[in-house]
């Protein structure tokens, strides 16, 4: 299947070592032919030798299934009618056989996830309803949650929920519940990918070169994080105006009494109210208090701090904020909380405090470069207040550009964004003509104000 990622496919296809004491020559020949054709993307030519080795020696090599997916993907894409349906049915048969013969590589949950994706990708040809597609993914989520890792699958799972709500098949609460389910799953997956990626980054930072295999995994984790980040934004766009205060407040008011001791429900309600900026409503305060009483945690202390701040109790709010941060022990979750705390300070114009927390986030999760971009933004916004003359004030933009570029250096996902942001800041810095007229080429400017640090003026 196109969406399937196989990191070690080449290693799995070493035709000189099939793991059998006595190898069938015919099966070896057909596997070799299949391998050569697939590598050349000649999937039609690969079909016949693949079928021969698959039927005669189903346990001969895992490549029968890895490459079989590619071959059947091609056949499905290039067929129609009954022929297409036959290839789809055969794909399901192949997946079941993979689970039987290579269970360690093809778990039941992964098989069910792939089958759900196959149904979605061929929904029209199979004549399936949106409810049937939803139920396929719902089966995976409820019974094989740890195997539900497909970014595309999670997106489809949620969007079908919204579509079914619009078709009056689901209540709006179902949409919000599924939104939270999918976001929680994405967050858990990102935690796993980030921790694995950080170990590789730490190894590189220590001066030890990654092995070829580790290099592949580093790229893989980065790609998964990037895909999941994009999907998170897409979920917000798809839910659109449904998740607004006008819908959320009456819904949570209606269900509050029966859920005021339910920590999981309260967490989702408070988070949604906070993220959708419904915090001015008295219900938000009630929800936060109930959440902190039902299930006190780092999260609840954070939300209590937001209530105290709205009441003008800044010192008390800051104490709760620090308590919240100190209570969190998991490095990725702590990094996420550091960013959230930094964002709060940034919104209030407390740039020095914001930078402190952004830098904490960078230490805790070095594979996430977004704090560098946020710090660069604060530098750029402060340019007019940092410097004793016009030239020195605009020199701050060089400093901001340097910070922005760091984002792309530590986080491959941000290379393009970091480069564009840095270029934009450099466009606001002094021109070559101004550098010449001020005789500043190569000189160092101490920035001062809350920023501190210094920047070297470019040579002409």
User: pLDDT digits over 67-81, tens only?
Assistant: 999 999 999 999 999
- Domain limits of the chain? 1-106, 128-243, 369-460
Q: Which of 245, 240, 318, 317 is nearest to 282 (CA)?
A: 245
pLDDT, one tens digit per residue, over 13-28 is: 444 444 443 458 899 9
Q: How confident is the model at residue 23, as a pLDDT? A: 54
Q: Which of 41, 103, 97 is nearest to 70 (CA)?
A: 41
In angstroms and rounded to an integer, the radius of gyration of the C-alpha atoms of the chain is 27
Q: How confident is the model at residue 344, as a pLDDT? A: 87
Torsions phi, psi for 57 (to 5 deg): -135, 70
In the 8-state DSSP scheme, what is residue 243?
S
Residues lower than pLDDT 70 in the chain: 1-23
Beta bridge partners of 456: 444
Beta bridge partners of 446: 454
- Report how far residue 17's alpha carbon sits from residue 375's, in angstroms, rounded to the nearest whole number: 53
List all residues 6 or more positions away from 220 whose beta carbon is below 8 Å from its beta carbon.
Answer: 5, 7
3-class SS letters over 362-413? HHHCCCCCHHHHHHHHHHHHCHHHCCCCHHHHHHHHHHHHHHHHHHHHHCHH
- Global confidence as pTM: 0.83
């Amino acid at each position: 299947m196109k969406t399937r990622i196989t990191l070690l496919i080449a290693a799995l296809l070493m035709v000189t070592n099939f793991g059998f004491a006595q190898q069938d020559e015919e099966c070896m020949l057909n596997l070799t032919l299949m391998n050569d054709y697939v590598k050349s993307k000649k999937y039609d030519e690969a079909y016949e030798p693949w079928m021969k080795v698959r039927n005669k020696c189903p346990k001969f090599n895992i490549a029968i299934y890895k490459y079989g997916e590619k071959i059947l993907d091609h056949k499905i894409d290039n067929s129609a009618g009954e022929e297409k349906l036959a290839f789809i049915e055969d794909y399901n048969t192949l997946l079941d056989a993979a689970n039987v013969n290579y269970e360690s590589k093809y778990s039941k949950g992964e098989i069910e996830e792939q089958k759900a994706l196959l149904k979605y990708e061929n929904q029209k040809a199979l004549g399936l309803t949106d409810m049937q597609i939803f139920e396929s993914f719902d089966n995976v989520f409820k019974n094989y949650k740890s195997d539900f890792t497909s970014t595309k699958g999670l997106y489809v799972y949620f969007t079908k929920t919204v579509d079914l709500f619009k078709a009056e098949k689901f209540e709006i609460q179902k949409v919000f519940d599924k939104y939270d389910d999918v976001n929680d799953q994405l967050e858990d997956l990102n935690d796993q990918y980030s921790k694995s990626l950080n170990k590789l980054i730490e190894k590189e930072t220590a001066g030890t070169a990654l092995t070829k295999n580790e290099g592949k995994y580093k790229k893989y984790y980065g790609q998964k994080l990037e895909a999941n980040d994009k999907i998170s934004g897409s979920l917000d766009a798809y839910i659109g105006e449904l998740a607004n205060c006008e819908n959320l407040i009456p819904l949570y008011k209606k269900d509050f009494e029966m859920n005021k001791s339910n920590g999981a429900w309260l967490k989702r309600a408070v988070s949604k109210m906070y993220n959708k900026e419904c915090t001015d409503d008295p219900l938000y305060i009630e929800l936060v208090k109930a959440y902190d009483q039902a299930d006190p945690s780092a999260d609840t202390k954070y939300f209590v701090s937001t209530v105290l701040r709205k009441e003008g109790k800044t010192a008390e709010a800051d104490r709760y904020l620090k308590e919240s941060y100190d209570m969190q022990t998991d490095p990725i979750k702590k990094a996420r909380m550091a960013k959230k705390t930094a964002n709060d300070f940034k919104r209030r114009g407390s740039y020095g405090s914001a930078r402190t927390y952004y830098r904490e986030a960078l230490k805790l999760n070095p594979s996430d470069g977004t704090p560098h971009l946020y710090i660069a933004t604060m530098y750029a916004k402060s340019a007019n207040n940092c410097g004793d003359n016009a030239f020195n004030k605009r020199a701050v933009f060089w400093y901001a550009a340097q910070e922005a570029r760091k984002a792309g250096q530590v986080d491959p996902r941000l290379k393009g964004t970091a480069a564009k942001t840095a270029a934009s800041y450099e466009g606001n810095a002094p021109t070559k003509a101004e550098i010449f007229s001020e005789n500043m080429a190569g000189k160092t400017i101490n920035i001062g104000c809350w920023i501190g640090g210094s920047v070297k003026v470019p040579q002409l």
